[in-house]
């Protein structure tokens, strides 16, 4: 089955102008151009357009999408699987937010009791999600997926006192590092260097049940 550019635009939710632009930059071109000058697309090309639109939703630039489309098919599939898992994770986080809001509304109405841990569970989950986006791949590569998941589970179930202690350690760590950065003398032997190390150790110990000195690296 073949499609005109207008039919493909209607089917995909794009516009003819966008599809012509994709053709101009050699991202998505028609199978052929008819004698009347109309761009004609074949059924098999629709999968490629679907992937382009998916990758755009993932925030990729058109240049990066073009590079991806030229990569082996198994790499393209792995990229889709990766984003699928990320969307599932974000959906779980959204479900937790909704649950916490429902509990909070019921609590404010006096319909249920709510523990302090339940009040702040969502915020810890959001922090885990944010760190996963920023550092997840790096941590998994360096320490393994099991260690990564264990640390996340431990953090989300911290009691309030440990969570507050961890935040305090983080404040002390960055205060020490900022002060050290402003110094011109030997920083390694300065008392603030020890303070920074001990604050980081305290943070790591609270954040991860399996603390190891290699986590300072």
User: pLDDT tens for residues 94-123?
Assistant: 888 888 889 899 989 999 898 877 777 767
Is the per-residue pLDDT at 28 higher than 90?
yes
Pull the structure tokens for residue 163: 């969570």
Average pLDDT, the chain: 85
φ, ψ (nearest 5 deg) of residue 15: -130, 155
Q: What is the pLDDT of residue 94?
A: 83
The pTM of the full predicted model, rounded to 2 decimals, is: 0.55
Enumerate long-range contacts of 8-16, CB under 8 Å, 24 or more apart: 8/41, 8/46, 8/49, 11/46, 12/46, 12/49, 12/50, 12/53, 13/53, 14/49, 14/53
Which one, of 35, 44, 37, 36, lies nearest residue 2 by Cα? 44
Pull the structure tokens for residue 99: 């649950």
Average pLDDT over residues 61-68: 94
What gap in Å lies between CA 28 and CA 24, rounded to an integer?
A: 8
Pairing state between β 39-42 and 32-33: antiparallel
Q: Is 41 exposed, middle or buried (0-12, 13-18, 19+ CB in 10 A)?
A: buried
Question: Is residue 49 very low, low, confident or very high in pLDDT (cuts 50, 70, 90)?
Answer: very high
Is the per-residue pLDDT at 140 higher than 80?
no
User: pLDDT tens for residues 154-201?
Assistant: 777 777 788 788 888 888 888 888 888 887 776 777 888 888 888 888
- Residue 114 or residue 151, greater confidence: 114
């Amino acid at each position: 089955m073949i499609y005109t550019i207008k039919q493909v635009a209607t089917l995909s939710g794009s516009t003819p102008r966008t599809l012509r632009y994709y053709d101009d930059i050699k991202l998505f071109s028609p199978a052929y151009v008819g004698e009347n000058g109309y761009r004609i697309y074949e059924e098999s090309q629709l999968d490629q357009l679907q992937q382009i639109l998916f990758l755009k939703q993932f925030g990729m630039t058109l240049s990066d999408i073009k590079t991806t489309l030229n990569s082996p098919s198994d790499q393209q599939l792995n990229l889709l699987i990766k984003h699928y898992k990320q969307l599932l994770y974000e959906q779980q986080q959204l479900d937790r937010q909704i649950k916490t809001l429902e509990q909070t509304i019921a609590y404010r109405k006096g319909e249920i009791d709510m523990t302090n841990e339940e009040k702040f569970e969502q915020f810890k989950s959001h922090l885990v999600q944010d760190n996963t986006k920023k550092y997840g791949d790096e941590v998994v590569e360096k320490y393994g997926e099991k260690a990564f998941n264990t640390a996340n589970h431990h953090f989300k179930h911290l009691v309030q006192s440990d969570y507050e202690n961890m935040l305090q350690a983080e404040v002390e760590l960055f205060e020490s590092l900022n002060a050290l950065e402003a110094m011109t003398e030997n920083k390694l032997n300065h008392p603030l260097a020890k303070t920074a190390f001990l604050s980081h150790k305290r943070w790591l110990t609270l954040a991860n049940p399996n603390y190891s000195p290699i986590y300072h690296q």
